[in-house]
Copies of this chain bind each other. A is one copy, B any other.
Amino acid sequence: MAEFEFIDWLAAELTAKHPPNRVLTIGLGDDTALLPPAPHGTLLAADMIMDGVHFDLKKSGPQLAGRKALAVNLSDIAAMAGTPTNVTVCLALPRIGGEQLAKEIMRGMLPLAEQFGVAIAGGDTNSWNGPLVISVTITGTPHEHGSVQRGGAKVGDWICVTGDLGGSITAKHLNFIPRIDEAKTLHRQFGLTSMLDLSDGLGSDLRHILRASGVGATINKATIPISAAAMDKAKQSGKTALDHALSDGEDFELCFTLPPAAGAALIQAQPFGPSLGVHKIGEIMQATGLYWEDGTPVTATGYIHQMK
């Protein structure tokens, strides 16, 4: 069972049998929940990162691990076009050196928290014999034009991404800038219909938009923006740079849809300048599935977390 199937199972259990969950404006299965009262309410999301899985503490050091724990949560708020407000931080610390580790984790987190106006509201520290775990929960304020969910893509919409894709493992996954400001600008100026942040790779994540929206898509090989890191990796991996752009996880760029006229205006405007390009990579279509421009299916699935 993949993680998204577990979330489907849980969401079905909850909405069918669990009265409290029926009051949520947005529940399980999107980048964040939206707690009542609508239309404003509070965005809420949580992401946990673990030594040996999402970072290698020996290589990254504690400051970049702490920074990443916050950044991945900020990216979830960005995916809704929201503004982050508060976090809680729970730590499972190795027994020896835990105090210094905890302080360094917070020192790595605080500059990013301050940059995005996020308060550290609470949390929990624990010691154990296992590896370091950092679990962060984030709250946020919805966009004044509403939250951008995964399920709003319409036939004919353009599909766009920010930045370049692939090869994040080389460095970007530890030092990326969450696209908070960009997401808010995009939704305010161009009226997005759906969005998520790319955490498992375009070939996997775009399918979540398609599934939630009940649509399909055609994407164009020549227009997928490929990072320099993906090109470097391709020289040694035996895979193409395009494979890396589609299947490497942790890009933490935005993938979103918008009506064609707004899309054309956006691509023309390039509101973030040359340092962060916005690229059209395809279009939403009626027939479900994900296809290349020549009609062949896209087989890249990105990273799928399998639960055994």
Contact = CB atoms under 8 A, between A and B. Distances in A.
B98 A32 contact: no
B133 A92 contact: yes
Given A88-B44, A130-B50, A307-B99, A21 B119 contact: yes
Given A14-B120, A20-B113, A308-B96, A90 B125 contact: no
B131 A130 contact: yes
Given A13-B106, A18-B110, A126-B305, A135 B48 contact: yes
Interface stretch (A23-31, A254-262, A280-288): A23-31
Contacts of A119: 14, 18, 20-21, 23-24, 27
B139 A44 contact: yes
B18 A120 contact: yes
A86 B307 contact: no
Interface in A181-218: none
Contacts of A145: none
Interface string A134-176: 0101010000000000000000000000000000000000000
Interface residues on A, range: 35 or more
A146 B305 CA distance: 43
A289 B93 CA distance: 31
A23 B19 CA distance: 33
A110 B13 contact: yes
A58 to B, nearest CB: 16
A269 interface: no
A292 interface: no
Interface stretch (A1-9, A227-235, A242-250, A294-302): A1-9
A104 interface: no
A47 B89 CA distance: 9
Given A19-B117, A42-B139, 11 more contacts: A3-B125, A9-B103, A21-B120, A24-B121, A28-B122, A33-B121, A45-B122, A48-B126, A50-B128, A127-B308, A137-B137
23 contacts: A6-B99, A9-B103, A10-B106, A18-B119, A20-B113, A20-B119, A27-B122, A33-B121, A35-B139, A42-B139, A44-B88, A44-B122, A46-B89, A46-B122, A46-B135, A48-B90, A48-B133, A93-B307, A125-B305, A125-B307, A130-B133, A133-B135, A139-B139
Q: Sort A-B residue pairs by CB-CB distance and give the 3 closest, nearest first.
A: A135-B135, A33-B121, A137-B137
